[in-house]
Amino acid sequence: MKKLIIILMILTWIWGNPQLSYATSTQVDALIKKLVEKGILDKKEALELKTEIAADEKILREDGLKQSLPSWLSTVKIKGDFRTRVQYERKKNDTEAQARGRIRYRLGVEGKVNDQVKVGAGLASGSADPRSTNQTFTDSFQHPDIRLDYAYAEYQPSPWAKIVGGKYLRSEYLWTPTDLLWDSDLNPEGGAVNLKHKLSEKAEIFINSGINVLDENGKTDKPDPFMYYFQAGNKWKNERYDATLAAIAYKFGGIEDIKLDHTACTNSGLSGSSSSCSGTLINDYDSIGSSMEIGVLKPFGLSLTRLAVFGDFIHNFDPEGKAGGWAAGVKLGDKKVVGPRQWQLKYQYSYLGKDAFPDIFPDSDRYGGATDTAGHEVVFEYGLMKNVALGIDYYQDHRIMGTKNPNKLIQADINFKF
């Protein structure tokens, strides 16, 4: 009781003097020393008292700081990452290889409007290319661009339903275990919905659906190019195993007889290169597909954290040939690399027919984001410290039709997240 009364007296004094900072702890130490000298406390009690006061003082100061900040600030979250990269690339038919230094910087902010609505926005380095946020070291230290990466509003009327509109982050509204069809930097423009329902503690079903605008044609008698998707799937997980399976349908409109911006110029009807492309698309790209990932913890009694197999499949209904695509792979190690000494090794084989999907979507690091390609990818990530990771990514790809002209690409990264 004696010690409790003393603690309350000291904390009351601290709380009543919020302007005190480093001086506070010194004066508290002096006060406790006096209490020991007068025999009110012994040395053991004094040490315990210092420890308890330090913990309580921290809580009081944190509460005081929260009360002094504007209320809206407590609902805002900031996140970001920085990546530095060395990249080497060479096609067999090229006379010289290309080596580049590159960086990427992304900064995002998210704020709650109310309990059901939030707004998010992000900035990123890079150019107008929607499939890259890289900034190459070039042009005599020229100041690079920072661009709007995404901006959206999300409405969540219940725990099982979310609706988003704007230029939104795709991961929660379309599940893709590989980058066969979707480059990881692509943020769609339009709207989407995510619905989910728990069947049990271990199982959940989900539906993702969205409509995205691909371009504005400026015409009143013809709709803007668009795409619509509908994905249904289920997740299952127990103490050792996890699985996600999904099926998807894509519907495209208004894209025949046009050339989409940022094309890799590999779909039928197009000729040239991505920087100088002519012609128009001659096929539609309505398609169906499926995706899966199955994982197991501590497989075969080994010390591996997790082993998983994954894959994607796509088939375009329109052309008679060259209309299929698939990817399959395996992952070993930690599910995510976020801490020191965590690691993950991934292998993926990808095959994407010439007209399996529009060539504005696939991973831009795999043969420049082209279709009509096949090849291997090996990725290794290792955690150097908390939120800092080393990454090595190796691609070896070739064209499927005609001259193969194989391409090799290796990227060495250090990633920093905050």
pLDDT at residue 3, rounded to an integer? 55
Structure tokens at 355: 């007209």
Q: What is the pLDDT of residues 251-269, one digit of tens each?
A: 999 999 999 999 999 999 9
pLDDT at residue 6, rounded to an integer? 58
Q: What is the C-alpha separation between 351 and 376, in angstroms, rounded?
A: 9
Distance (Å) of CA 207 to CA 107, 158, 163, 195, 235: 29, 15, 12, 5, 11
Q: What is the C-alpha separation between 14 and 31, in angstroms, rounded?
A: 12
Distance (Å) of CA 294 to CA 30, 224, 297, 301, 335: 62, 39, 11, 17, 12
Query: Residue 399's CB: how many other CB atoms inside 10 A?
Result: 20
pLDDT at residue 20, rounded to an integer? 47
pLDDT at residue 133, rounded to an integer? 97
Q: What is the C-alpha separation between 115 and 329, in angstroms, rounded?
A: 40
Regions of the chain where pLDDT drops below 70: 1-28, 49, 53, 56-57, 59-69
Query: Residue 416's CB: how many other CB atoms inside 10 A?
Result: 15
Distance (Å) of CA 336 to CA 345, 346, 351: 11, 12, 26
pLDDT at residue 15, rounded to an integer? 53
Helix (H, G, I), strand (E, B) or coil at 279: strand
Whether pTM > 0.95 for this model: the answer is no
Contact 170, 152 (CB under 8 A): no
Q: What is the C-alpha separation between 90 and 18, in angstroms, rounded?
A: 63
Contact 215, 225 (CB under 8 A): yes
How many degrees, rounded to 5, is the angle at CA 132 between CA 129 and CA 134? Answer: 115
Report the phi/psi class of residue 257: left, alpha or beta, with left for phi > 0 and alpha for psi in -120 to 50.
left
Cα atoms in the 13 Å half-sphere on the side-chain side of 133: 22
DSSP code of residue 225: P
Structure tokens at 302: 């080994």
Q: What is the C-alpha separation between 170 and 241, in angstroms, rounded?
A: 26
Q: What is the C-alpha separation between 199 and 177, in angstroms, rounded?
A: 23
Judge residue 294's burial from the number of C-beta atoms within 10 Å of its C-beta, 0-12 exposed, 13-18 middle, 19 or more buried.
middle
pLDDT at residue 338, rounded to an integer? 95
pLDDT at residue 29, rounded to an integer? 74
Distance (Å) of CA 353 to CA 29, 268, 288, 321: 74, 11, 14, 8
